[in-house]
Amino acid sequence: MTELKTNEQFADDSSEQYEQSAIDKFISIILCRGDFAKQKLDAKPVSFFQLFRFATTCDRFMLSISALLAIFTGIGQPMICLIGGKLTNVFLLTKTFERNDTFWYQAYIYVYLYASIGITMVITTTIQYICAKNASLNITCTMRQEYMKSLLRQEAAWFDQQKTGTLTAQLNANIEKIKDGIGDKVGMILRGVTMFLTCVIIGFIYDWRLTLVMFGTGPISAALLSTMARQMEHSSSMQSNTDGRAAAVLEESIMNVKTVAACNAQETMIKRYAATLKACRKFALHAYAFAGFFDGLFFLVLYVFFAAGFYYGAYLYQIRIIMNPGYIFAVANLIMFGSYNLGVLSPHLMAVLNARVAAALNFNFKFQKPSFDSSSTDGMKVNEVKGEIEFQNVKFSYPKSKEHLVLNGLSWTAKPGDTVALVGHSGCGKSTSTGLLTRLYNCNSGAILIDGINICDINIHTLRNIVGVVQQEPLLFSGTIKENIRLGKLDLTDQEIIDACKIANAHDFINKLSEGYDTMIGAGGIQLSGGQKQRIAIARTIVRNPRILLLDEATSALDAESEVIVQNALKKAFVGRTTIIIAHRLSTLRDSNQIIVLDKGQVAEIGTHKELCNNKDGIYASLVKSQQFEAQQKPTSPPVEELPLETFHRSNTRDSRNSSGYGIMSSFTRGSIMSGNVTCVSIPEKSTEITVELNGKKKSKPKGLWQLYTNCHGNYGKMIIALLVSFLRGLELPLFVLIFDLTFVVFAQAKLESVLERILPIAIIYIALGIACLIVIFSATFTFGWTAECVVDSLRLRAMRNMLYQNAEYFDTPSTSTAVTVTRISVDAQTLKRSRSANDANFDNIVAILVLVTIAVIFNWPVGLLAVKSPVTHFDADIDRKYNAEVNKCALKQIVTGQLALEIVEQIRTIQLITGEEHFHRLYVQTIEDLLYLQKKSSPYEAILFAVTSSFMFFSDMISYAAGIALIYYGYSLPQEIFTASWSIATSGWALIMVSGCLNTFVMASPASNSLFRIINTGSDMNSVDDGLRPAITGDVQFNKIKFSYPTRPQRNVLNGLNLAAYAGQTVAVTGPSGSGKSTVIALLERFYRFNSGQLTLDDNSITKISLRYLREQIALVGQEPILFSGTILENILLGTTGKTLSDVREACKIANIIDFIETSPKGYDTEVGEHGVQLSGGQKQRIAIARALVRNPKILLLDEATSALDAECERTVQQALDAASSGRTCITVAHRLSSIQHADQIFFVENGKVVEEGTHQELVEFDGKYADLIRKQDLSS
């Protein structure tokens, strides 16, 4: 019975390391893997048999059959050496061959044995492999299901202590290790041990003396491989870690490509990437050097013992202890065959140990007991709920900082049907309260009651059905709009979905989509704008019909007009329901029955909007004041729906006609211009498939791996040396065959008394060949590894450089999005590195095959050609093609499975809040069962390939000797010719096995090469970034009749004849509804896109004629979501700059109001910000982004919703920094919060891609048009 652990105990266990058991150490030592015996493990390994705890009776039966057949094949495989020795004996002892019927019958007995044993080996190995493979697939499929079920049970506090990558690694990498350890590896171990024991036993039966001399080959070979593993361990570990850092640099650079471009930081990031690749390459070369040296030493040992065996065997033959010379060949081949197979068992044993460790980690997780089970059926199932909420002296701290109380005795009450707002600065406990109310967390002390019942006593699913949540960041799932809404309630009718979308103000924009409610929205809702996703999430909550509604910044992604519409809809939808609202825009809280102001985890103020505003010195009043308009005139005009179409301008010289547009949601929206993702791109009204030809060029026919060899600039010297050395390496097997032929001749032709004397030089040649192998194998492995690392790293740098200089439109296409691009560069580069190293290294095997076949043809052309054209070879190739086709299908399905698993892990809280655990578990089970079906479908092909390949020498010898014996019998050939030709073909079979082992890598490398070179060769601004004018800039900006549509939807104009001007030193604001083209204005100024028509000038110079690098030196951009990179604060502020001093940085930080925070930190400017700036708060990140903009001393400052994501207090601090930053330079700001732009010199109200109103704040208020109506909706004074 497995002991259940709580999450706290599980977290404590995670840092423990374990010693191996005595039996594990013993096995490691006797196999000369003493390094494994000392190795510390991440978890106490489960026993070998516990690996199969999820096996069914059928699985156990298949595993038993597999084990028995593995032992059987282990006994059968050495028979090839035994038969070969017997047949060699026939050749050596027969004096006359032509028309010798005795020779014919004796020889053909062994040909029939080759055929019968070969067929038996193929059949038994195929069955053994299928049984092991299918059993391991079944077991790991069950493991994945159980792991996902356990994952969906855990509470939020546990997830706070985990990393998504770790959880998905346990789900994927760990279970793959288990599959690897319980599948064919167990069969390999059983077969290898049996083969070695069989070889030794047969060898001792033939002659114990000769066997004893050669017996040391196995242990010494294993010891060499052990030493190699120990020496390579550090290098490989460091290489893996460094490669991970390189991948992180690549990811953060391309995922935030617009920020990199805006800061002119392309070369900075490329140098950072190159430095990490160089460090990684150093460790890789160490690993290649060790691998080459010990691999060469292994072959030296083999040849030394081979020489000793034949020399001692010749001595025993000469003194007549061994009577049949064929026995010497049999024993030598048996011991070498068995020793080699014993030497390669170490990785398989390590795979089993890794599987046991991985199983321990996964089993610990599977059987751990959460503090409270989100899938539990325990607890009260309340039917009638009024909606009264009461917090009673609630105290709470997050698990990561238990000493810091977020809620410190919080008490408040909400009456049934009331709307209650929670207000306060960041960290005061607003969102924490909602997390406790939905039992994502349990409070430390105190109680939360619903209708007088402690929520801990209510069934958790019942509770979450009572409480509906709309979060600040709406999380949607892959699938259609209809499927996402139906997640709120699985048995919804289509009409109920439509009704909910009407309430959420989503029905109209959904209907305008080409597929309507069946539109696929992609993972995370990436095909929708922020506002559209928010409304879908609201609809999903509406269909749940909750009695209590929690709105955590639910309308923050909407513009003022859409926000009011949705707020009004929500008011109608939730009449009679208790509603808890959290919002930074205080204008949305005015009508709340009660506003609760939190401070330091306690209630600081409580009352209505009016009551709290009357307390002039209160916290709420100060927050209202920070968002209030100054000296505004109250518009008294009718609602916006009744306004006339006339527009207002300070100057009457411009066209004032209102353009006919497609509506607010008809155009693409960029929620944040700094984002490198397409996550903010909304779907246009009508979606049609469009193929975009980049740069107007037709797609060229892919060139596959040939491109890899024609793009080795700077590395051709290394490659030529590597190929020459590898060519010499390829001569090893042919030389071995020729030496083996000489050995045969000695025993066939030499007199008995001279055998020992004539075998001595041959033994010396064997040893010389071993020494040559040591030198050549070391040189080939190192030079090919060096070449592969340099070539592929060069391609990675070229790919990254080309992507960092791409226009934004390239990444707007889903097939070339930033996420896809990062994945392609990372995955394709690793595939090509493996391919380049493996296939180049296999150049020696190709040389060996060609030379051996040539030798076979030279010695006996009928035998040589017959073996090459054998049906076995063609059958193997045909099966391989079918197997690769099935593998590709599995790979595609694995991508889908991986995406679903990642989506579940990343959105686990949303799944739990909508009580979707069972649904998503069922969906995951169906997906992996579909994958299981495909994997099982491919396993027979894989098994046949493995079986035919491992038994290939039986069939090659059968064909060669069947033809050769006939040729000898009829007098057409001599025995030596047939022996050499047959041995050449058999030896080429070993080389062919080595090549076929890399065939799958080669198959995968060709599309990877095409993909990577497509990225490298796509046209970009890389070579023209410095071309153009470099005029002195004062800061005058003029948009004149600009028309623009995003390349992915060219028929929809986002800007439709835009006229806008900002003069040097002015602060100009652009506002308007979502999708009107505000952020597009900034994107065009940064030249992320090219406009379709019109003129965009900077100081009367066309922006397209100014050097792109110089332009971005004059412009600085601060976006809605500040993007920081891994590194120090100083590195982030100086990103992309040259010649700036620390005093320049301090001055910028002073203006940005961040200097005190930095200089009071222990490490000051050397403080690490963490990945994505996670070590800093939102306000701190925003102010560092402002300092980064200011240190450039730009002539033009662009602010794109720079304070929209901040709470009122942070907004006030950052706004002060922005006001200081705007002084003395042209500033163009985009904002929804109108209070932040009321002091602008000029305000432009943009709608449908045109300016419909412009003027100062006061003038636009007096005009009482669209701008005034937005003010009325955000006004806090009433």
pLDDT tens, residue by residue, 43-60: 567 777 888 888 899 999
Judge if 478 and 592 occupy the same domain: no
Burial class (CB within 10 angstroms; exposed 0-12, middle 13-18, buried 19+) of 480: middle
pLDDT in tens, 770-798: 999 899 988 888 888 888 888 888 888 99
pLDDT in tens, 377-388: 788 888 888 889
Of 582, 601, 635, which residue sits at a domain end? 582
Percent of the chain with pLDDT over 90: 16
Q: What is the DSSP string of 24-55?
A: HHHHHHHTT-HHHHH--BSSPPPPGGGGGTT-
**Mean pLDDT calculated for residue range 262-288:** 88
Judge if 1249 and 1210 occupy the same domain: yes
Does 594 fall in a domain?
yes
Q: Are strands 445-450 and 453-454 parallel, antiparallel or unpaired?
A: antiparallel
Residues 6 or more apart from 99 whose CB is under 8 A from it? 969, 970, 971
More confident residue, 28 or 932: 932
Judge if 488 and 439 occupy the same domain: no
Query: Lowest-pLDDT range, 646-655, 821-830, 1028-1037, 1081-1090?
Result: 646-655
Judge if 486 and 574 occupy the same domain: yes
pLDDT in tens, 875-887: 666 676 677 677 6
Judge if 443 and 477 occupy the same domain: no
- CB-based contact 431:582 (threshold 8 Å): yes
More confident residue, 970 or 1003: 970
Does 816 fall in a domain?
no
**Mean pLDDT calculated for residue range 442-447:** 90
Judge if 448 and 566 occupy the same domain: no
Query: Lowest-pLDDT range, 265-269, 298-302, 891-895?
Result: 891-895
Closest Cα partner for 1073 from 569, 684, 562, 568? 562
Judge if 487 and 569 occupy the same domain: yes
Q: 3-class SS at 183? A: coil
pLDDT in tens, 731-756: 888 898 888 888 888 887 777 788 88
Query: Lowest-pLDDT range, 123-132, 298-307, 560-569, 653-662?
Result: 653-662
Integer-rounded Cα radius of gyration of the chain: 37
pLDDT recorded at residue 692: 34
Does 993 fall in a domain?
no
pLDDT at 697 over 50: no
pLDDT in tens, 280-328: 888 888 878 887 888 888 888 888 988 988 899 888 888 888 888 878 8
pLDDT in tens, 108-164: 999 999 999 999 999 999 999 999 989 989 998 888 888 888 888 887 767 766 655
Judge if 473 and 396 occupy the same domain: no
pLDDT at 1130 over 90: yes
pLDDT in tens, 1170-1185: 767 767 766 788 889 8
Of 582, 611, 641, which residue sits at a domain end? 582
Mean pLDDT, the chain, rounded, equals 78
Does 380 fall in a domain?
no
With cut-offs at 50, 70 and 90, classify the pLDDT of residue 333.
confident
Judge if 515 and 392 occupy the same domain: no
**Mean pLDDT calculated for residue range 696-713:** 58
More confident residue, 768 or 746: 768
pLDDT in tens, 509-525: 888 877 889 888 765 45
Residues 6 or more apart from 355 whose CB is under 8 A from it? 51, 177, 178, 179, 180, 181, 182, 185
pLDDT recorded at residue 1059: 93
Burial class (CB within 10 angstroms; exposed 0-12, middle 13-18, buried 19+) of 885: exposed
pLDDT at 801 over 60: yes
Judge if 1250 and 1113 occupy the same domain: yes
pLDDT recorded at residue 16: 45
CA distance 984 to 736: 9
- CB-based contact 817:678 (threshold 8 Å): yes
pLDDT at 247 over 90: no
Does 393 fall in a domain?
yes
CATH number of the domain within which 1111 lies: 3.40.50.300
Does 657 fall in a domain?
no
Number of domains the chain contains = 3
Structure tokens belonging to residue 1060:
């806008």
Does 927 fall in a domain?
no
pLDDT recorded at residue 676: 41
Residue 506 lies in domain: 468-582
Judge if 1226 and 1114 occupy the same domain: yes
Of 552, 582, 612, which residue sits at a domain end? 582
Does 47 fall in a domain?
no
More confident residue, 663 or 506: 506
Alpha-helix runs per DSSP H in 615-691: 619-626
Where is mean pLDDT largest: 97-101, 460-464, 659-663?
460-464
The reply to whether the predicted model has a pTM over 0.75 is: no
pLDDT at 1039 over 90: yes
Q: Are strands 1226-1230 and 1067-1071 parallel, antiparallel or unpaired?
A: parallel
pLDDT at 647 over 50: no
Closest Cα partner for 1242 from 1082, 1042, 1065, 1080? 1065
Judge if 404 and 502 occupy the same domain: no
